[in-house]
């Protein structure tokens, strides 16, 4: 007991020494705090006085800005320019306008608007502003923008570019220059009032500067409606505010009653809302909220002229506001926000010096107290440090300390055991939560549990329900048999353990692994090499069972995830294979594109060239790209194969050239009958036969021409189209009804069309109403203004869903597809996005619909379905497009084309790069890396693999 009392006395002495020190520090803090408050109040008062003086200075500057232009405008109101009605007359007054413009740095433009909508404006163009006018010569210093109307009211806009000496450099006639001064507020206000009007401050559209417009109606203008205007900038106010900042971090702004910022001390901050904005940026939209918070605090406190302290963006500020007397109608206020740390920097410096002195005294007292209690209190201090590590979740820190105090030593041992146990649980939780594959998960689980129980060896068996046996999955130095046979899934844990004890040597402890449904999934074996093998602790057995239960759940979850992923992979391949199997002509496309795309992604990740230098996909992104590549054409499952595989122009479910051949046969026989009839009627037989032969020969030639046109090609000229239409006009006689034996769809197409009396005259080729199919209620949501279109599609919708007109199809100028057919094919990408978007994909796969649906977009924005451009697509999307194009060019299983050689395919793709179809860096990587050749060796025919001059496809540096 005496030792314990001695320890308490030593600790109490240390606490008393600490209390004395703390009391001294408290007194010091109170005194220093009072000193700080006094200095703070002085600093704040000085800042408030500075703000008031700043308001006076700004008022003077605003009056200086608006005064001279107003005087110039009053003089300009008497100028003859108001009564001119032609551009030549107005150009004669150009020197007067130029003198007003150059007389002041703040005047940016002088102009006149007329009652008939004419406009005459002269603008200064600084060297830094020339780039804003793409058509302006580099030495432009004045820009004259005019709009005049002729006697018929037609607009004639002109832009004149002048150099510093006002010598005309060039002239432009912009057709898109739309402007009517009569609709502008400055014109309307001055026209009504007849006095000088001042607009609200706003951001000039052309120069993006903040300023005002002064306008005045011309004196004695009668009904001409002439109004003069002058634009003046107030942007130099921002520079003045920047020079008057109290500290480097001070923010000063001039704000009107609507909260618009007219000037801001951070001169690098643009004060326009956006490139099309008509007014200044709102104070709430500034990058830093300090000024907005200062004004809000002043309104909340009911004192707009006091100083308030507040916190903004995790920083303390002093804010103050002062009204400005100039521009009364605007209700201008100057707001000042000063960082507290900068304003009080000197105060804190003095406070630091006082604190150092107090700290030195406190340190001296602490050293004395520490020397007195060191020998007794040092072990407790070390133990306290170790316990602090535990409070910071550092359970891997050793807690044991050497101490002559028994209680301190015992406490350190207990805490060390506790930390080791918690650390082991942490490791187990980490293993269960982060295991990526089943084998690694099992191995890590076994290692942790073996470590927890203080052993070295163990194993895990997994149960095979099909074979009724346990299969060794992980073996840590036990050399156990690979299988344990004759294990019943419905057996009790005790029976399974008995069975295992008979077959496995040593002194193992067993834990049976069961899932949430209590089904057997495996067994864990730990060899007890240390301790009493014959008297196993019940606590240890229960602990191993509980940990094994968590491991079983984790194993089951991992197996489910892997099986679900395998199922998803299988379904994806099933869909892709179904699409390829649907058409004998596109078989393998959905299989080859993912392989080629993955090859190109691998090359992009290895490349050190721009823009691939920083391109890397993690495992989830790689899997997301893999799924998107496999599903990129899943929408084709909805595309009719007779459209996708349309080899000739007249093909639908069958090639309708056979129907047309039959009609030619009818006409051929009609000619024969006409010949025989003429002979029977007594006409000259030789003449009749000659006419028959000529007519039949003509039919043979015309059918041969129609059959050739049906094949399709790269181009059909107008003469051939005219000949088809001429042939289509031949007549033949139909004796049988065309309204029987029809499907309901065909009947519906003929609804409202009366049946012709038989026999009926038909044309050889026709575009009939029955050939058309309306969209009905099956209109796809591809138009931009369709309220159902939530995917951003932007495609042109044909008038009809199908147009099977014979002349319409035969006169296709290029290829075999009509606009309706091509839309039906292109629609597959719309269906792809809609189908994938409808799937409940997890967040890590949320980008699959976008990746799968952009391979028909173009770099120039002319692709489909959304009209994206290069800025809207990343490297994976561009790679998908290149892979899809190359596979389509080289495929040999298409009915409407032959597979291209490597050189032919790359030549076509190079033209597509120039046309803005595919991405140049990805194409050059495709060529430079040799990916095209490796793919060709795997998937192309030998005759397609030729020697390629890669240099002709690489853009010269």
pLDDT, tens only, 843-870? 777 788 888 788 888 888 888 788 888 8
- Bridge partners (DSSP) of residue 524 are 460, 511
Give the residue among 548, 554, 555, 549 at the shortest CA–CA distance from 526: 548
pLDDT per residue as tens digits for the range 275-308 = 444 567 777 777 778 777 777 777 776 655 567 7
pLDDT bucket at 7, cuts 50 / 70 / 90 = very low
Q: pLDDT at residue 585 above 60?
A: no
Q: State the number of CA atoms in the 13 A half-sphere of 54 facing the CB.
A: 28
d(Cα 100, Cα 109) in Å, to the nearest integer? Answer: 9
| pLDDT at residue 162, as a whole number | 92
Mean pLDDT in the chain? 77
Give the residue among 2, 9, 1, 11 at the shortest CA–CA distance from 379: 11
Q: pLDDT at residue 930 above 50?
A: yes
pLDDT bucket at 36, cuts 50 / 70 / 90 = low
Q: What fold, for 583-636+845-953?
A: Hypothetical protein af1432 (1.10.3210)
Start-to-end CA distance of the chain, whole Å, equals: 90
What is the percent of the chain with per-residue pLDDT over 70, rounded to a whole number? 75
Give the residue among 148, 140, 139 at the shortest CA–CA distance from 121: 148
| pLDDT at residue 138, as a whole number | 85
For residues 882 and 598, the answer to whether their CB atoms sit within 8 Å is: no
Q: pLDDT at residue 233 above 70?
A: yes
| pLDDT at residue 96, as a whole number | 85
Q: pLDDT at residue 460 above 80?
A: yes
Q: Which two three-digit tokens encode residue 493?
A: 């844990």
d(Cα 669, Cα 928) in Å, to the nearest integer? Answer: 64
Give the residue among 23, 24, 12, 25 at the shortest CA–CA distance from 373: 12
pLDDT per residue as tens digits for the range 48-71 = 666 676 767 777 777 767 777 777
pLDDT bucket at 706, cuts 50 / 70 / 90 = confident
| pLDDT at residue 896, as a whole number | 56
CA-CA-CA-CA dihedral for 451, 455, 456, 461, to nearest 10: -80
> How do the domains of the chain map onto residue ranges?
77-234, 238-343, 435-559, 583-636+845-953, 657-773
Q: What is the mean pLDDT of residues 517-541?
A: 71
Q: pLDDT at residue 598 above 80?
A: yes
Q: State the number of CA atoms in the 13 A half-sphere of 466 facing the CB.
A: 0
Q: Which of 62-76, 307-321, 338-352, 819-833 has the highest mean pLDDT?
A: 307-321
Long-range contacts of 297-304 (CB under 8 A, 24+ apart): 298/335, 304/333
d(Cα 718, Cα 546) in Å, to the nearest integer? Answer: 85
- Tell me which of 273 and 759 has the higher pLDDT: 759
Q: State the number of CA atoms in the 13 A half-sphere of 106 facing the CB.
A: 22
Q: Which two three-digit tokens encode residue 462?
A: 């997994």
pLDDT per residue as tens digits for the range 488-512 = 888 888 888 888 888 888 778 888 8
Measured CA distances, 11 to 8, 20, 387 (Å): 5, 14, 18
pLDDT bucket at 434, cuts 50 / 70 / 90 = low
d(Cα 60, Cα 53) in Å, to the nearest integer? Answer: 11
- Tell me how crowded residue 949 is: count the other CB atoms within 10 A of its CB: 8
d(Cα 10, Cα 376) in Å, to the nearest integer? Answer: 7
Q: Residue 61 burial (CB < 10 Å; 0-12/13-18/19+)?
A: middle
pLDDT per residue as tens digits for the range 241-257 = 777 677 777 888 788 77
Q: What is the mean pLDDT of residues 180-198?
A: 84
d(Cα 914, Cα 867) in Å, to the nearest integer? Answer: 18
pLDDT bucket at 534, cuts 50 / 70 / 90 = very low
Q: What is the mean pLDDT of residues 26-39?
A: 69
Question: Out of 3-7, 77-81, 358-362, which region has the weakest mean confidence (pLDDT)?
Answer: 3-7
Q: pLDDT at residue 523 above 80?
A: yes
pLDDT bucket at 258, cuts 50 / 70 / 90 = confident
d(Cα 637, Cα 574) in Å, to the nearest integer? Answer: 12
Measured CA distances, 471 to 431, 446, 456, 763 (Å): 22, 15, 21, 79
Q: State the number of CA atoms in the 13 A half-sphere of 224 facing the CB.
A: 22
- Tell me how crowded residue 22 is: count the other CB atoms within 10 A of its CB: 14
| pLDDT at residue 622, as a whole number | 86
State the greatest distance between any 2 C-alpha atoms of the chain, in Å, as a whole number. Answer: 155
d(Cα 809, Cα 772) in Å, to the nearest integer? Answer: 12
Using DSSP's 3-state secondary structure scheme, residue 172 falls into strand
Q: Which two three-digit tokens encode residue 400?
A: 């044991």
Q: Note whether 77-234 and 238-343 share their fold.
A: yes
Whether omega before 389 lies within 30 degrees of 0, making that bond cis, reads: no
Question: Out of 612-621, 830-839, 947-956, which region has the weakest mean confidence (pLDDT)?
Answer: 830-839
- B/e letters for 230-269, b = 16+ CB within 10 Å, e = fewer, are bbbbbbebbebbbebbbeebbbbbbbbeeebbbbbbbeee
- Tell me which of 491 and 5 has the higher pLDDT: 491
pLDDT bucket at 519, cuts 50 / 70 / 90 = confident
| pLDDT at residue 790, as a whole number | 79
Is domain 77-234 annotated with CATH 3.40.50.1110?
A: no
CA-CA-CA-CA dihedral for 622, 636, 802, 645, to nearest 10: 120
Question: Out of 347-351, 369-373, 730-734, which region has the weakest mean confidence (pLDDT)?
Answer: 369-373
Q: Read off φ and ψ for residue 460, nearest 5 degrees.
A: -130, 130
Q: What is the mean pLDDT of residues 811-833?
A: 76
Rg of the chain, C-alpha, whole Å: 45
Question: Residues with Cβ < 8 Å from 137, sequence gap 6 or more?
Answer: 161, 169, 170
**H or E stretch at 119:** strand 119-124
Give the residue among 623, 621, 637 at the shortest CA–CA distance from 569: 623
Q: What is the mean pLDDT of residues 206-218?
A: 78
Q: pLDDT at residue 732 above 50?
A: yes
Q: What fold, for 238-343?
A: Beta-Lactamase (3.30.450)
Q: What is the mean pLDDT of residues 621-638?
A: 76
Is domain 435-559 annotated with CATH 3.40.640.10?
A: no
Q: Residue 695 burial (CB < 10 Å; 0-12/13-18/19+)?
A: middle
| pLDDT at residue 619, as a whole number | 81
pLDDT bucket at 146, cuts 50 / 70 / 90 = very high
For residues 868 and 857, the answer to whether their CB atoms sit within 8 Å is: yes
Question: Residues with Cβ < 8 Å from 51, sequence gap 6 or more?
Answer: 320, 321, 322, 334, 336
d(Cα 413, Cα 407) in Å, to the nearest integer? Answer: 10
Helix axes 931-939, 589-606, angle to 10 degrees: 150
What is the percent of the chain with per-residue pLDDT over 90, rounded to a whole number? 1
| pLDDT at residue 701, as a whole number | 86
Q: pLDDT at residue 435 above 70?
A: no
The DSSP bridge pattern shows strands 315-323 and 227-233 to be: unpaired
pLDDT per residue as tens digits for the range 382-424 = 666 666 666 655 555 665 566 666 666 666 666 666 666 666 6
């Amino acid at each position: 007991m005496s030792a314990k009392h001695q320890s308490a006395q030593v600790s109490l002495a240390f606490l008393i020494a600490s209390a004395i020190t703390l009391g001294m520090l408290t007194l010091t803090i109170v005194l220093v705090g009072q000193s700080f408050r006094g200095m703070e109040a002085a600093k704040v008062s000085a800042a408030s006085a500075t703000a008031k003086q700043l308001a006076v200075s700004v008022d003077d500057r605003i009056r200086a800005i608006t005064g001279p232009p107003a005087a110039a405008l009053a003089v300009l109101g008497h100028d003859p320019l108001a009564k001119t009605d032609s551009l030549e007359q107005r150009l004669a007054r150009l020197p007067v306008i130029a003198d007003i413009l150059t007389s002041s740095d703040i005047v940016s433009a002088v102009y006149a608007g007329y009652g008939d909508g004419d406009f005459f404006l002269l603008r200064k163009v600084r060297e830094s502003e020339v780039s804003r006018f793409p058509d302006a010569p580099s030495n432009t210093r004045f820009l004259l923008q005019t709009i005049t109307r002729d006697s018929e009211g037609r607009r004639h806009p002109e832009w004149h570019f002048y150099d510093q000496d006002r010598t005309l450099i060039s002239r432009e006639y912009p057709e898109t220059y739309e402007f009517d001064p009569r609709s502008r507020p400055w014109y309307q206000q001055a026209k009504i009032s007849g006095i000088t009007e001042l607009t609200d401050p706003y951001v000039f559209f052309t120069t993006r500067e903040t300023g005002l417009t002064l306008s005045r109606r011309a004196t004695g203008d009668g009904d001409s409606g002439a109004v003069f205007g002058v634009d003046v900038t107030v942007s130099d106010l921002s520079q003045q505010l920047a020079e008057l900042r109290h500290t480097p971090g001070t923010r000063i702004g001039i704000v009107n009653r609507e909260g618009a910022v007219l000037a801001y001390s951070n001169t690098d901050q643009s004060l326009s809302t956006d490139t099309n904005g008509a007014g200044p940026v709102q104070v709430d939209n500034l990058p830093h909220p300090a000024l907005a918070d200062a004004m809000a605090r002043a309104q909340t406190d009911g004192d707009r002229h006091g100083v308030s302290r507040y916190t903004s963006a995790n920083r303390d500020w002093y804010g103050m506001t002062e009204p400005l007397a100039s521009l009364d109608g605007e209700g201008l206020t100057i707001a000042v926000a000063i960082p507290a740390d900068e304003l009080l920097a000197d105060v804190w410096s003095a406070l630091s010096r006082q604190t150092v002195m107090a700290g030195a005294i406190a340190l001296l007292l602490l050293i004395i107290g520490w020397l007195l209690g060191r020998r007794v209190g040092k072990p407790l201090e070390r133990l306290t440090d170790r316990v602090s590590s535990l409070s910071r979740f550092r359970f891997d820190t050793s807690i044991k300390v050497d101490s002559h105090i028994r209680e301190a030593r015992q406490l350190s041992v207990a805490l060390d055991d506790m930390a080791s146990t918690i650390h082991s649980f942490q490791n187990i939780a980490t293993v269960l939560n982060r295991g990526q594959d089943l084998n690694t998960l099992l191995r890590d689980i076994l290692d942790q549990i073996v470590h927890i129980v203080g052993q070295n060896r163990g194993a895990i068996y997994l149960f095979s329900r099909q074979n009724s046996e346990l299969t060794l999955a992980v073996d840590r130095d036990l050399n156990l048999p690979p299988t344990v046979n004759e294990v019943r899934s419905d057996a009790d844990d005790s029976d399974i353990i008995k069975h295992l004890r008979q077959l496995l040597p040593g002194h193992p402890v067993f834990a049976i692994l069961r899932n949430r449904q209590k089904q057997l999934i495996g067994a864990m074996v730990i060899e007890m090499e240390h301790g009493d093998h014959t008297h196993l602790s019940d606590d240890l057995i229960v602990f191993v069972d509980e940990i094994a239960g968590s491991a079983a759940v984790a194993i089951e979850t991992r197996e489910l995830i892997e099986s679900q992923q395998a199922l998803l992979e299988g379904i994806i391949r099933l869909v892709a294979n179904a699409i390829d199997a649907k058409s004998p002509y596109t078989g393998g496309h959905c299989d080859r594109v993912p392989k080629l795309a993955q090859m190109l992604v691998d090359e992009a990740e290895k490349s050190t060239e721009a823009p691939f230098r920083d391109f890397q996909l993690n495992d989830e992104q790689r899997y997301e790209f893999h799924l998107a590549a496999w599903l990129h054409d899943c929408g084709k499952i909805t595309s009719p194969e007779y459209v996708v595989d349309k080899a000739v122009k007249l093909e639908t479910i069958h090639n309708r050239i056979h129907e047309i051949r039959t009609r030619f046969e009818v006409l051929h026989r009609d000619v024969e009958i006409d010949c025989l009839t003429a002979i029977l009627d007594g006409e000259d037989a030789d003449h009749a036969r000659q006419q028959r032969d000529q007519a039949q020969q003509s039919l043979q030639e015309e059918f041969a021409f129609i059959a050739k046109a049906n094949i399709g090609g790269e181009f059909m000229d107008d003469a051939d189209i005219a000949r088809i239409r001429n042939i289509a006009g031949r007549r033949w006689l139909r004796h049988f009804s065309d309204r029987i034996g029809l499907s309901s769809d065909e009947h519906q197409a003929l609804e409202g069309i009366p049946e012709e009396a038989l026999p009926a005259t038909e044309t050889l080729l026709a575009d009939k109403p029955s050939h058309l199919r309306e969209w009905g209620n099956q209109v796809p949501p591809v138009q931009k203004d369709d309220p159902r279109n939530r995917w951003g599609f932007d495609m042109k919708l044909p008038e009809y869903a199908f147009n099977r007109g014979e002349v319409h199809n035969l006169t296709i100028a290029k290829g075999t597809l009509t606009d309706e057919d091509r839309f039906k094919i292109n629609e597959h990408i719309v269906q792809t996005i809609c189908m994938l978007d409808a799937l409940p994909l997890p967040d890590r796969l949320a980008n699959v619909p976008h990746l799968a649906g952009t391979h028909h977009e173009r770099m120039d924005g002319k692709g489909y379905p959304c009209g994206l451009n290069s800025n809207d697509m990343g490297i994976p999307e561009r790679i998908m497009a290149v892979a899809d194009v190359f596979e389509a060019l080289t495929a040999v299983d298409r009915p409407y084309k032959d597979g291209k050689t490597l050189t032919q395919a790359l030549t076509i793709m190079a033209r597509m790069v120039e046309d803005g179809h595919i991405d140049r860096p990805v194409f050059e990587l495709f060529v430079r890396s040799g990916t095209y050749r490796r793919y060709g060796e795997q998937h192309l025919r030998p005759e397609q693999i030729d020697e390629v001059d890669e240099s002709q496809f690489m853009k010269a540096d």
